[in-house]
Structures are given as structure tokens and as C-alpha cells.
A and B are shown apart, each in its own frame.
Chain A
Amino acid sequence: MSFLSVNDVTVRFSVGSKFAAWIKREKPPILTAVDGISFDAERGESIGIVGESGCGKSTLAKAITGLVPVASGSISLDGEELSGKRDPALRRRIQMVFQDPSSSLNPSLTVEQMLSELLRVHNIVPRDQIADRCVELMDLVKLRTSLLEARPRRMSGGQRQRVGIARALALEPDVLIADESVAALDVSVQAPILNLLNSLREELDLTLMFISHDLAVVRYVSDRVIVMYLGRAVEDRPTSEMFEDPRHPYTKALMAAAPKFGVKKAPGESALKGEPPSALNLPSGCRFRPRCPLAAEICEQTEPGLTGPSEVQRAACHFAWEDEEISS
């Protein structure tokens, strides 16, 4: 049994006006944001999740944290099943760092107030040690202790994001989920935050789930990468193998689309044509088919499963492993 186990998780939202649907005596349309995602993570492992906006990567993170209800499937941590309603002790073990620290921190509280509130409510340390623990947390995320008195407004983007990380770490979680945590930061500040996440993972033996649309960033912090497209995992492989030899045409296209140093763009050329179809109106068979350069008849008829030569090397494309033996 692995440490964090996500098993066939599906998240659905009803969209549009419920009233309009009721008038028309129809059911409101249902959007499947996450469609049967499964993966296992060991303690201390770092998993990267990549995809375009709208592919369900943030919804998956929220489902694991318990912020959105799961329609079907199960999530378990350390052998314990996590339901929709979690008690505080269980909730504490999975924490999230959000994208935009300026909107996810309370502007009227000082850093010390934010951290001590968490420590108090969750009874992490005895009351008389709260102040000491705040100082320790600031050390952990490499912030000056004097900033404990500061409010978010006075801090730079990088410092705010460190406070966001300190807040998550205050609850001593086992799993840390970073949802686009460096996307809003300047490039020169991104690197230190990524380095901090890497060192915290080693120091505290955290399981890290790193969500981003930026493949290069994901490569830097992850042992394993899951590529998502319209709610499904299309490729799930160890980082080094995937980047050396991507198997799914979507992964290949994403890699080709990322800007690289010293490569000039050819006029009118693009790696990926068009935009993802609406999740409310999916194409038949493989969801990537309308944009796929390899699309054939079989892709229209059957949706490929996530398979591969081994448990850790999987891709959801009919042509991904043509030159290899498929065991599963």
C-alpha cells in the first residue's frame, strides 16, 4: 500500500443555471472536470502535474485536499481512507500552497497572527511555545524574523509566497500541494522558491504534488510527471524518461510549444493547432483526437487506456508503445 493513493477519482460540477434547467424540465449540464485519475505516491516523492488551463489539474488538487467533493473514487493517506468530511487531524495532513500569495493571505493580519492562529486552532504546540514555533517556521522558509510583524502589503511577491509556504508547513503536513505556486512570481524570485520547495521536501520528508503549466519548472522539482488533458491522465512516467522520450503526442506537442533559448519561431508555425474542445461536449474516442497529428480510425472508435510496458511507464495513446511489449 502506498503512502498517498488516489484511486479512480472523478469530480463533477453542474454548470449553467439550475433554475433555467428546472423551467425546461431538464437536468442541468454536468461537467466532468476530473475523469478517473489514479496514481500512487510514496512518502517523500515529488509528483508533477502538467496541463493546459481547464484540464482539471487544480480541481484534482482541491479534491485531494478535500476542498471539493469527489463524485466517485477514493483517496487514501497512509492506509486511511479520506472521505469528503474530514476531521481536523486528518485535514491537517494535506496542505496546499496557492498561486497568488497576495490574494490568499489575509491582508489585515500580520504574519505572526496568521501563523499563531493556525498553531492555536489546531493545537500543534502548547500555548506558551507558539511564539518560538513562529520563529522556527520563519527560519524554515528562510525569512527574516523581523517580518513576523509585517502585513502582506509590505512584503514582496517572493516573501509573500514564502509566508504561504510557512502557513502550510505550520500544520506539519505529510503532503504539500503547490498549485501554480511560482506562476505569479518574477523569474528571478521563482528559482529560490523552487529551491526552497526542493530542500523542504528532503528536510521534512514531504510528499510534494507540484502543479504547473510550465514543463521546465515541473521537470526541476518532480520525480514523476503526470500530464493531464481534459480531465484524464494521458502520460504518467518518471521525469527523466518522459523528457528524454515523450510517448503521448500531446506531451510531445507541449514540449515543442515551450519556448527554448536560441530557437527562432518559424512564421505561422505552431506545435499544437486549435484549442481544447469543451469538456461538456467531448469528441468520441480519444479526447485529443481532433488536435492529434497521429489520429487514425481506431482513435475515433475507442478511447485508449493508460497502459505501458510497466506500472511506472504509462501513456494513453494507441500508438504510444508500438515498438514495445505491453505487459498490462
Chain B
Amino acid sequence: MSEHILEVRDLEVSFTAHGQTVTPVDGVSLSVTRGEALGIAGESGSGKSLTLKSIIGLLPPNATVVGDLRYALDDEEPIPYAPADVHGHGISIIFQEPMTALNPTMRVGDLIAEGPRIHHGLDKKAARVKAVDLMRQVGIPTPERRARMWPHQLSGGLRQRVMIAAALSTEPSLLLCDEPTTALDVSIQDQILGLLQELRGSLGMSVVFVSHDLAVLGELCDRLAIMYGGRIVETGPVDEVFADPQHPYTEALMTSVPSFDATAEQLRGIDGRPPDPRAFPPGCRFAPRCQYARDECRSAVHELRDVSAGRTTACIYPELIQGVKR
């Protein structure tokens, strides 16, 4: 039995418009082991959502995807798959904004029942019973009554729970999460994270969670991959990455957010703006904004090097990083 449930190798997503080709995802490799939660962090435009969507084939039709995607069914070795085949058969996805992701013309019960009906051939009645069970499982109070409601009648937190129930309805072994808590209040975000953590334990699901918020990823994930300019720049176990970041971008992200427990010192932030995929800088793509950048960085070849067991970085001078005081 292979440990990996998902393997992505040298993934490239590109778009061609007006005779110009842009590559917002440029050579991403990652793997997810069974039961693991992998967090992908990055700013808007870093390619994290495109990476996630290409796993399940939800990219717009004008996108060109190159790369090796492998997924393991049950206990077998990961084998190449067509993204369209895993819909409802092993991989599910939840999105950021439940109001736009849920069909407004379907009652939420029918919406959840649709997956089992189409993909697992359940009849209408059985699927409806299953939908109510799922709604109970994700903590929706009075599920029988709520199953007959429309999405607009539910609060943001309940809608997100409905989306999770719909994702779980096809019994996935891998759940992809595209910033599912960003649009929610802290208290509701806290509830949804608790729910996801609980479902991971009870269903033994693997999770890939994309967010721009490192602290949120830290609460749920075992391992982190930090993305910048369409590439992964650092990977490692969550605790180790937080304690001792090995890429200046990770460190900069951590010192950009005001923290709760630290005394108010000046926040650093990152100078400049994220790179434009139409004109990525040569060499290390973070170099123009990096406080430690040297001349060699501007011509460095992107390569993830091992730092220690399970940790990699793309930075050629990780020893220059001063570390984060928290």
C-alpha cells in the first residue's frame, strides 16, 4: 500500500490571450499522504487556487494544463487520472463563498442529494435520507426542516456547512478546500475549522487546504507548502515552519500579521507588490521584495532543496534568515 493518496508533479497551468502566454502555475510538485492535511499558503495571484482547481479539473476551458497528476484509489499505488473522473469518486471540493457556489434554485436538501444520485446511483428517496443524515453530521440543527430551505434562507455559517455536506455526500477520501473560511466571521470560522478537524478524524479523509492566512492553516494542517509567484518556495511540517522559517517569504508573511500575544512592535509587511504573472522577475521571484536578496538570487535556478527531514526550501541563502520572534 502506498502512503501517498495524491501526487502532483511539475504541474504547469498556462493561459494564452492576445498572443501572449502567461503561466501563473509554474512547475508545482506536491504530494499528500493518507489522512494528512496539507496547507497551501500564498497571496492572491500566487497560483494556489489554480493548483487546487487543476487537481479536480475545474479550470476554465482556455487553460492549458501540463504535468503528472496521480491519485490512489483505495489501497493501491497512485496512478495517473483524468481530473473529470474523480468528481464524485474520491475527490470533492469546497469553495470560499457559499452563496455563489450553491445553486440558488435548488433546495439545499436536493443539492446535497444530487451527488449520491448522479455518482452513486441512489434513488431519490434514499438520496434525500442520506442528505438529511449528512446535514446532521455537519452540525446543522433541525436538518429535516432545513433540507427544504433555499440557500438564501440560511446564514453564512450554515451555508458553508451545507457545502461541506454536499462535498461529503460522495464519500471522498480527499477534500480540497479553497479558502472556505475567509468570508466568515471569526467565531463561525472557528466552528468550521473545528468541524473539519472532527470530520478528518472520523472519516479518515485527507485534506488540502488553501488559504492566505497562515494562522488558520496552522490550526488545521500537518504540513505546509508556501507558494509565491506560481511556485512552491518552502515545504515542511507546520510547527517547524512556524518555529524556524527557511524562506524569507514565509518569514515576511509571518511578520506581516499583527499577533495576539506579542507586544505591539512595528509590523514589517512586504515592500512592493506580488509579481505579475505576465512578467515574472528572473531568478528567485521573491528577490525584488526580499530584504536579504544578493546578486546571485537574481539568477538563481528555482529548485527545492532539502533542509532537513521533510523540509525543503527554494532559498539559496536560508542561513541569512533571522527568524521570527513570537
A contact residues vs B (CB 8 Å cutoff): 52-53, 156, 158, 186-192, 194-195, 213-217, 219-220, 243, 253-273, 275
Contacts and interface: CB of A to CB of B under 8 A. Distances in A.
B104 interface: no
B193 A260 contact: no
Main secondary structure of the interface of B (DSSP, over half): helix
Contacts of A190: 256-257, 269
Contacts of A269: 194, 197
B157 to A, nearest CB: 6
B43 A265 contact: no
Give the interface residue-count category, chain B: 35 or more
Nearest to A52: B185
Contacts of B142: none
B191 interface: yes
Nearest to B181: A259
Contacts of A188: 43, 252-253, 256, 269-270, 274
Contacts, number: 142
Contact of A261 (B189, B215, B220): B215
A258 B200 CA distance: 21
A219 B257 CA distance: 11
A53 B239 CA distance: 32
Contacts of B252: 188
Contact of B256 (A191, A263, A271, A273): A191
A214 B186 contact: yes
B218 A259 contact: yes
A264 B185 CA distance: 19
Contacts of A52: 185-188
B286 to A, nearest CB: 11
B194 A261 contact: no
A72 B214 CA distance: 43
Most buried by B among A188, A217, A267, A272: A188
B44 to A, nearest CB: 6
B278 interface: no
A266 B260 contact: no
Nearest to A155: B273
B187 A254 contact: yes
Contacts of B155: 275
Q: Which 10 A-B pairs have the closest CB atoms?
A: A191-B269, A257-B190, A268-B198, A259-B215, A220-B258, A191-B267, A188-B270, A267-B198, A272-B187, A265-B219
Contacts of A186: 43-44, 212, 274
8 contacts: A186-B44, A186-B212, A188-B256, A195-B266, A216-B257, A256-B190, A266-B197, A270-B193
B168 to A, nearest CB: 15
Interface in B213-243: 213-216, 218-220, 239, 242-243
A200 B299 CA distance: 39
Contacts of A257: 186-187, 189-190
